[in-house]
């Protein structure tokens, strides 16, 4: 009787499941045997450029820098056109390494990864006439950019020991016509590059022993992309989210005809070193109706000479300040005034279209570490949109955001603070910058890009048009000396030496 009752109970439990159409329960198949460890691929000098999709947004980041010289490298081209090849010259103490290419901007993504490459410890850097070079390094692998989109890229080198470094490369646009042009400030990156013990600021014996010329034939110091990540990446992300048509160049690419038909040119957070060819190209673009935006401070400060892959600037007779003959304010609308700077950004024209949709008028910490303000060389009718007073080494001064309209109808905006791009990260910027600064700078920058992408902005409240750029009849006062700081600045009293800004 007990067996019958048990059988009936079993039938009652099974029948409802069958009535609902559920599949019959089958035993799980046996687990497959564990695969054997795959053989590592053979080293290759010509890795396949097949794209590699990744999901993790942070996968591009360096997690372990490792020891000095554990892995480092440089590209033999600062920029390439889509589909062109460039070589990587890598030195590592590890037995193997890989290289991965990440397109940066709004959505960093891996587009390529090499196979395993045999590691080689390249010879030490050489110093030739005061210039540190690794041009004698042998090529390690060749990268084919076929299928890559235009943009700013970081090549991450991953040693088999776990150490990582970046190599920046720009896939530049073949045409800028009808687009907003984002310019990587590579000449300034190289000026501050201390790899091998020398930059345009320092040498083994300090400022007096600095290089008078620096070359792209060497890795960047630190992680390999400090100035790009500090002063440019966040602005690229905002620009790409704005959905305006974009083009990508480096400062080395600025030359005759390159900016023909461009809607706007954007100078990013720290763009200090300009050659005559660079300035001529941007000035002619403005005078043809191309809008300009300077999202930083201290732009167009030193007048450099480009000699192949070398940036020459002795900071003396052969490399004067631009303001000695053609003040940068004639183009930017303002000029460098203070380092080190620290203060609150204060909006003075909240009704201006650049600030439409923003909230707040005062943002602590946003002013610094270098700042600009209007000078006697600024164009007529320049508008001051933000006026942020603070103390600079004991003297009272101010940081100003400005806007003016050129006779061509082009609009020119300058933020006046080097921390503008950094503030797009909110509290992550540090320096006491509040989270509200992120929404403010992102929205204001988007307003600028959107208006500028439509063509000559022709926005000038005073109804005046400044004269075309020319040396003013009266030279402005000389720049205040940027005092030595930490170990990186010049000795006290060194004329017009400058010093590397704090990472922002």
| Residues sharing a CB contact under 8 Å with residue 463, sequence separation 6 or more, in sequence order | 381
- Residue 485 phi/psi, 5-degree rounding, is -140, 140
Q: Identify whether 317 is preceded by a cis peptide bond (ω within 30 of 0).
A: no
Buried b (16+ CB within 10 A) or exposed e, 156-193: bbbbbbebbbbbbbbbbbeebeebbbbbbbbbbbbbbb
How many whole angstroms separate alpha carbon 131 and alpha carbon 217? 10
One digit per residue, the tens of pLDDT, for the chain of length 504 reads: 444 443 334 333 333 333 333 333 333 333 333 333 333 333 333 343 344 444 445 599 999 999 999 999 999 999 999 999 999 999 999 999 999 999 999 999 999 999 999 999 999 999 999 999 999 999 999 999 999 999 999 999 999 999 999 999 999 999 999 999 999 999 999 999 999 999 999 999 999 999 999 999 999 999 999 999 999 999 999 999 999 999 999 999 999 999 999 999 999 999 999 999 999 999 999 999 999 999 999 999 999 999 999 999 999 888 999 999 999 999 999 999 999 999 999 999 999 999 999 999 999 999 999 999 999 899 999 999 999 999 999 999 999 999 999 999 999 999 999 999 999 999 999 999 999 999 999 999 999 999 999 999 985 434 344 444 544 433 344 444 443 333 333 332 333 334 444 433
Q: Which of 299, 305, 375, 383 is nearest to 347 (CA)?
A: 383
> Read out DSSP for 262-322?
-SEEEE-S---EE-HHHHHHHHHHHHTT-EEEE-SSS-S-EE-EEETTEEE--SSTTS-BG
Distance, C-alpha 458 to centroid of its chain: 28
DSSP helix/strand/coil, 258: coil
pTM of the model: 0.84
User: What residue ranges define each of the domains in the chain, with the CATH number in brackets?
Assistant: 55-169 (2.60.40), 173-454 (3.40.50.880)
Residue 247 belongs to what H/E stretch? strand 246-250
The SS3 of residue 458 is: coil
């Amino acid at each position: 009787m007990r067996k019958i009752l048990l059988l009936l109970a079993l039938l009652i439990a099974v029948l409802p499941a069958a009535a609902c159409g559920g599949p019959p329960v089958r035993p799980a198949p046996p687990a497959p045997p564990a695969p054997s460890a795959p053989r590592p691929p053979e080293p290759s000098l010509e890795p396949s450029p097949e794209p590699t999709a990744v999901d993790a947004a942070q996968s591009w980041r360096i997690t372990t820098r490792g020891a000095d010289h554990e892995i480092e490298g440089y590209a033999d081209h600062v920029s390439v056109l889509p589909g062109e090849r460039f070589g990587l010259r890598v030195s590592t103490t590890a037995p193997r390494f890989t290289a991965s290419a990440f397109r940066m901007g709004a959505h960093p993504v891996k587009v390529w990864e090499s196979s395993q490459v045999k590691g080689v410890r390249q010879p030490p850097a050489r110093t030739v006439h005061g210039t540190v070079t690794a041009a004698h390094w042998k090529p390690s692998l060749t990268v084919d950019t076929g299928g890559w989109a235009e943009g700013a890229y970081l090549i991450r080198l991953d040693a088999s020991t776990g150490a990582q470094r970046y190599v920046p490369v720009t896939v530049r646009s073949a045409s800028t016509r009808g687009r907003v042009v984002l310019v990587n400030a590579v000449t300034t990156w190289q000026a501050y590059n201390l790899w091998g013990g020398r930059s345009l600021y320092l040498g083994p014996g300090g400022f007096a022993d600095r290089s008078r010329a620096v070359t792209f034939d060497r890795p960047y110091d630190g992680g390999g992309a400090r100035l790009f990540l500090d002063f440019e990446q966040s602005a690229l992300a905002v620009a790409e989210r704005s959905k305006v048509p974009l083009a990508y160049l480096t400062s080395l690419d600025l030359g005759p005809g390159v900016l023909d038909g461009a809607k706007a040119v954007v100078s990013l957070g720290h763009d200090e070193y300009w050659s005559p060819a660079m300035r001529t190209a941007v000035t002619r673009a403005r005078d043809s109706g191309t809008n300009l935006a300077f999202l930083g401070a201290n732009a167009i400060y030193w007048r450099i000479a480009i000699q192949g892959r070398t940036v020459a600037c002795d900071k003396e007779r052969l490399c004067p300040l631009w303001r000695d003959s053609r003040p940068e304010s004639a183009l930017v609308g303002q000029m460098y005034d203070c380092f080190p700077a620290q203060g609150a950004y204060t909006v003075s024209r909240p009704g201006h279209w650049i600030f439409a949709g923003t909230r707040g008028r005062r943002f602590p910490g946003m002013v610094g570490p270098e700042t600009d303000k209007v000078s006697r060389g600024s164009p007529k009718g320049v508008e001051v949109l933000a006026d942020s007073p603070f103390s600079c080494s004991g003297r009272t001064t101010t940081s100003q955001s400005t806007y003016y309209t050129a006779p061509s109808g082009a609009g020119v905006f300058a933020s006046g603070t080097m921390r503008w791009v950094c503030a797009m990260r909110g509290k992550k910027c540090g320096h006491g910058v509040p989270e509200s600064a992120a929404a403010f700078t992102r929205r204001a920058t988007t307003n600028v890009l959107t208006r500028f992408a439509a063509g000559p902005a022709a926005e000038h409240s005073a109804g005046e048009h400044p004269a075309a750029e020319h040396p003013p009849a009266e030279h402005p006062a000389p720049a205040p000396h940027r005092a030595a700081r930490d170990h990186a600045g010049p000795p006290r009293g060194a004329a017009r030496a400058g010093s590397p800004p704090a990472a922002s």
